Amino acid sequence: MTNPPSPTSEIARIGSYHAHIYYRTPEQRAQAEHLRTQIAERFSVQLGRWRDMVVGPHAAPMFQVAFATESFPIFVPWLMLNRENLTILLHPNSGQPRRDHQVHAVWFGEVLPIMNPEHLPETSSDDETVTPNTTPTA
């Protein structure tokens, strides 16, 4: 009998997280701008560019927030309380991009499709390091 892997060793594969914040209407874009400003003022995270044009695998316009595992216990509950009705995809970066988006992901609000998941590699050795925003600008 071999022991199952410990939960801690599985979790250790997660190098960072992404929150993808989606918007589709002008009202949601304005809400997303407000949320982005609040995030920039409060958290040491990495804010991605505005993606007003849909870029795969994402099914709607969005921006990305990359954050370190240490930020999870503060940033994620804060998002829960402040996302209003925006749809958010939260996924780990565990070296399995396809599973991280399709299987390991958590959705806040509406669940959107992941477009062309076959374009996501099954495994990745890229250690995505988060460069926290130390001079926040929204």
Residue 73 amino acid letter: P
Cα 15 to Cα 8: distance, rounded to the nearest angstrom: 13
Residue 34 near residue 85, CB atoms below 8 Å = no
The sign of the CA dihedral 5, 7, 8, 11 is: positive
Least distance in angstroms from the C-beta of 70 to Zn ion: 18
Q: Which is nearer to Zn ion, 26 or 67 (CB)?
A: 67
Least distance in angstroms from the C-beta of 24 to Zn ion: 18
Q: Which is nearer to Zn ion, 34 or 51 (CB)?
A: 51
Q: Which two tokens stand for residue 91?
A: 């996924």
* CB count in 10 Å sphere of residue 6: 9
Q: Which is nearer to Zn ion, 27 or 110 (CB)?
A: 110
Give contact residues for Zn ion (rule: CB under 5 A): 18
If DSSP codes are grouped into helix, strand and coil, which group holds residue 59?
coil
Least distance in angstroms from the C-beta of 3 to Zn ion: 33
Least distance in angstroms from the C-beta of 15 to Zn ion: 12
Q: Which is nearer to Zn ion, 8 or 114 (CB)?
A: 114
Whose structure tokens read 């997303």?
Answer: 32
